[in-house]
């Protein structure tokens, strides 16, 4: 796995603590939808960094804290402004393994951000978690930085009328009286913002034929949406097969989608899980490009994660380009046609975005998605398909479950090029002006 970043995230310096890393979270939760009441215990297994650790912090919203323990002993702690600062009774040795236990309770709500509320959202009937980029502390204590990936064990007890979908594999579902406890395990390293969760009254259906092997694919959908959903997501198994051909083996054990019984501004990816709204299901495959986009994030963004948020184009540019590849391979417009349209659109908009470091204000600007896709297309045009697709598969394989930077990608792509790519990357990644649209890639077949 690629090395984890040890620097503070420049876009969100108050989120995450690079002085230690977590390798496993165990969350035991109880949620009551009516009063929107959440109570939980978190046990974090962590490792101190290269310096002794006299104190450290977790990110957690304004819940009532019941107890905090470090290696079974009560530390001194303060909890203000979304930060739980912990000072162990004795400083932790450099490189030492340690455990943190936190008990908390309260009414979860989204955390405020420049993009509105993020994280735990109470729905009309149930709840949904979509945390990108800094919403995870809205519901559990975490080291909230994209480079700190960990395994997760999540147990959630809620009234039995509700289905719980969470990241990872469903281990058990146990009903006692009127409540059910759902237990999920995500063993793959997972960034805190990618720990998705949905609680609602859903029908659970399988996508594709499980008897044919391949990746298990499940959907949790409101009953009244199922007829439209069945058409809109019918081609997802074919998408999975194509993306495995183009990007390499699917990086997780399973894939699930949830359609919340609400309208959502945009779908959101989580680890092995994607969250959609009813407005993304029209029965006419009107949002199929978004189905492809969220699936592609499982490779680019989730498995191959980013060291910090400056590199978000590596998530969104590759997922955008996957939309174009799906269109190209499924009988729609070719990738170069999509690139031409995107280039025309960007040429009419302000030229003030530097893709490799867009700044917090522009990190979710639609221009970043479009220019990111165009940059990937420019690399394809420069390499030719015979080198581009092996480069893509190797990128996903080498950095599987790791974290990367823009510099790592440019060095990787350069290894597949017949000539230097410095000018291409300087123009597309570091300059604000839109470079000319490259000529289409050669017609040589993908390897």
Looking at residue 8, its pLDDT comes to 87
Residue 414 sits at φ, ψ, to 5 deg, of -60, -30
Task: Name the band, by pLDDT with cuts 50, 70 and 90, for residue 6.
Answer: low
pLDDT tops 70 at residue 371: yes
Prediction pTM value:
0.95
Give the CATH class of 305-430.
mainly alpha
Q: Could you tell me which CATH number the domain at 202-303 has?
A: 3.30.2010.30
Looking at residue 208, its pLDDT comes to 79
Looking at residue 7, its pLDDT comes to 80
pLDDT, tens digit, 9 for 90 and up, residues 83-117: 999 999 999 999 999 999 999 999 999 999 999 99
The token pair that represents 351 in the structure block: 């030229």
pLDDT, tens digit, 9 for 90 and up, residues 25-79: 999 999 999 999 999 999 999 999 999 999 999 999 999 999 999 999 999 999 9
pLDDT, tens digit, 9 for 90 and up, residues 235-276: 999 999 999 999 999 999 999 999 999 999 999 999 999 999
The token pair that represents 67 in the structure block: 């107890």
DSSP-derived 3-state class of residue 57: strand
Looking at residue 44, its pLDDT comes to 98
Where are the domains positioned within the chain? 1-200, 202-303, 305-430
Looking at residue 430, its pLDDT comes to 98
The token pair that represents 332 in the structure block: 């729609």
272: left (phi over 0), alpha (psi -120 to 50) or beta: left
Report which of 373, 380, 365 is spatially closest to residue 339, judged by C-alpha positions. 373
pLDDT, tens digit, 9 for 90 and up, residues 312-335: 999 999 999 999 999 999 999 999
What distances in angstroms separate CA 106 from CA 32, 157, 444, one per listed residue?
A: 11, 15, 59
Neighbour-count burial for 242-280, b at 16+ CB within 10 Å, e otherwise = bbeebbbebbbebbbbbbbbbebeebbbbbbbbbbbbeb
Cα-Cα-Cα-Cα dihedral of 221, 224, 228, 229, to 10°? Answer: 10
Question: Quick one: what percent of the chain has pLDDT higher than 70?
Answer: 96
Looking at residue 441, its pLDDT comes to 79
Asked if residues 206 and 224 have their Cβ atoms less than 8 Å apart, the reply is: no
CATH fold, domain 1-200, is Immunoglobulin-like (2.60.40)
């Amino acid at each position: 796995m690629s090395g984890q970043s040890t620097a503070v995230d420049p876009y969100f310096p108050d989120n995450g603590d690079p002085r230690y890393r977590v390798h496993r979270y165990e969350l035991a939760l109880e949620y009551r939808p009516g009063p929107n009441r959440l109570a939980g215990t978190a046990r974090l297994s962590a490792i101190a960094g290269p310096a002794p650790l006299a104190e450290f912090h977790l990110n957690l919203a304004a819940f009532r804290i019941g107890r905090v323990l470090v290696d079974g002993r009560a530390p001194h702690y303060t909890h203000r402004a979304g930060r739980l600062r912990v000072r162990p009774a004795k400083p932790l040795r450099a490189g030492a393994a340690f455990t943190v236990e936190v008990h908390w309770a309260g009414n979860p709500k989204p955390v405020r951000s420049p993009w509105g509320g993020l994280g735990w959202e109470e729905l009309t009937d149930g709840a949904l978690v979509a945390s990108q980029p800094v919403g995870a502390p809205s519901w559990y204590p975490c080291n909230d930085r994209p480079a700190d990936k960990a395994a997760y064990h999540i147990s959630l007890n809620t009234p039995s009328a509700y289905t719980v979908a969470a990241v990872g594999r469903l281990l058990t579902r146990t009903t006692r009286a009127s409540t059910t406890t759902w237990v999920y395990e995500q063993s793959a390293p997972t960034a805190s913002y990618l720990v998705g969760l949905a609680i609602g009254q859903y029908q659970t259906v399988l996508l594709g034929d499980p008897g044919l092997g391949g990746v298990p694919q499940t959907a949790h959908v409101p009953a009244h949406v199922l007829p439209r959903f069945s058409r809109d997501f019918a081609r997802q198994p074919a998408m999975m097969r194509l993306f495995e051909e183009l990007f390499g083996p699917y990086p997780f054990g399973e894939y699930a989608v949830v359609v919340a019984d609400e309208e959502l501004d945009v779908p959101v990816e989580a680890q092995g899980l994607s969250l959609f709204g009813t407005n993304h299901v029209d029965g006419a495959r009107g949002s199929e490009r978004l189905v492809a986009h969220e699936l592609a994030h499982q490779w680019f963004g989730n498995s191959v994660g980013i060291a910090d948020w400056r590199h978000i184009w590596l998530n969104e540019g590759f997922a955008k380009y996957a939309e174009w590849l799906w269109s190209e391979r499924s009988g729609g417009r070719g990738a170069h046609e999509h690139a031409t349209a995107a280039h025309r659109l960007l040429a009419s908009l302000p030229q003030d975005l530097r893709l490799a470091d867009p700044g917090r204000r522009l990190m979710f600007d639609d221009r970043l998605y479009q220019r990111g896709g165009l940059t990937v297309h420019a690399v394809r045009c420069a390499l030719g398909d015979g080198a581009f697709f092996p480069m893509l598969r190797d990128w996903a394989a080498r950095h599987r479950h790791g974290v990367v930077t823009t510099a790592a990608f440019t060095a990787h792509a350069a290894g597949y090029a017949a000539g230097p790519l410095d000018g291409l990357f300087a123009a597309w990644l570091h300059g604000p002006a839109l470079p000319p649209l490259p000529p289409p890639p050669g017609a040589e077949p993908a390897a």
